[in-house]
Amino acid sequence: MDLLNTLMDKGLRREVPSREEALAVLATSDDDLLDVVAAAGRVRRHWFGRRVKLNYLVNLKSGLCPEDCSYCSQRLGSTAGILKYTWLKPDEASKAAAAGLAGGAKRVCLVASGRGPTDRDVDRVSDTIRTIKEQNEGVEVCACLGLLSDGQAERLREAGADAYNHNLNTSEGTYADITTTHTYADRVDTVHKAHAAGLSACSGLIAGMGESDEDLVDVVFSLRALDPDSVPVNFLIPVEGTPLAKEWNLTPQRCLRILAMVRFVCPDVEVRIAGGREVHLRTMQPLALHLANSIFLGDYLTTEGQAGKADLEMIADAGFEVEGTDQVTLPEHRVSAGGGGCGSHEGAGGCGSQEGAGGVCGSVPAATAAAEPRTDLVAVRRRGAGTDLAPNA
């Protein structure tokens, strides 16, 4: 297919595709799916080989958020039966992080619900970062605390943070349909603050919230313009008690096309499969490793993920290898541009991990219409951080 050859060649040269080409990837048929995966997979292997970076989430403070993000189980007005607890102490957070690191994770993502941190919150998280760094040599730490005020990114950097996450989530044109308590511009501003402080920026999206193909392409091109080092791709998790809980329209094939489009537009960045892979990719998760070079190990913020042991087996069975702490994630040209070992920038919401609801991703051909809702695959997290039970790692 001429389109795929063109996109593959552009990806190998780090050349941006056109919007029309990106839209065409989303419009390909299921008959062409393996060709799409093969073309995007070559771009992935060119820049990242067969390495898979493992990331581990620690939810430092769960629930009771004043923001109204429609996809989130921790939102204002949520009736989801999630864990609710206040700040973990540094030693508690470090213990939780150690489980993921023992399972092979290279990066720990420290997340806290809320609009954004107070200066006292930054002090708390800084103490936690220092504790984790002191107890685990070579670990990368990413913070995800919401909207940042002036000077806070610099303080996190001084405490040892390597990265900051704040996702754009959806296109600017549809953002107000998802959240009303803050703006798209607020999120962009936080990504800029992380960049300016010398943190590696991590910023991604959530697919499946009622957006069109054009919206998906818009947000991915906006992300490319922000130049994050990592782009988490979330697939909406329909959690009961959230406004989007009844939306179940993603298919495994659709998810693979979205990941391929992201890889073509952002060929040399860390593309991370974040929340929802188990729910929407299901048995096709191994194919997604040919497109993304990074995943979360174990559970998410408020929902359970695939067993950590199963994650590691999947990576090995698919012919990939876990990236070691002695390996640099990003290609040399991105590291030398100012990012250090883990990259150069990171950006918006949930350390890349969304927990919310599913929706229609543009016009889905009849042949790829979603099956019955797999509510059996959505389980509220009852173990790990904030509990007395062992974590899933």
Residues annotated as catalytic (active site), given as ranges: 65, 69, 72, 109, 142, 202, 272
If we measure between CA atoms, which residue out of 195, 219, 221 comes closest to residue 209? 219
Query: Helices marked H in the chain — which ranges?
Result: 2-12, 19-26, 33-48, 90-102, 119-135, 152-159, 175-178, 184-196, 213-226, 252-265, 285-288, 308-317, 332-334
Six-digit token string for 305: 């993920």
The contacts of residue 332 (CB under 8 Å, 6+ apart) are none
Q: Which amino acid is at 353?
A: S
Q: What angle do CA 333, 336, 338 make, to 5 degrees?
A: 120
Q: How many whole angstroms from its chain centre is CA 318?
A: 21
- Phi/psi region, residue 386 (left: phi>0; alpha: psi -120 to 50; beta: rest), is left
How far, in Å, CA of 361 to CA of 374, rounded? 17
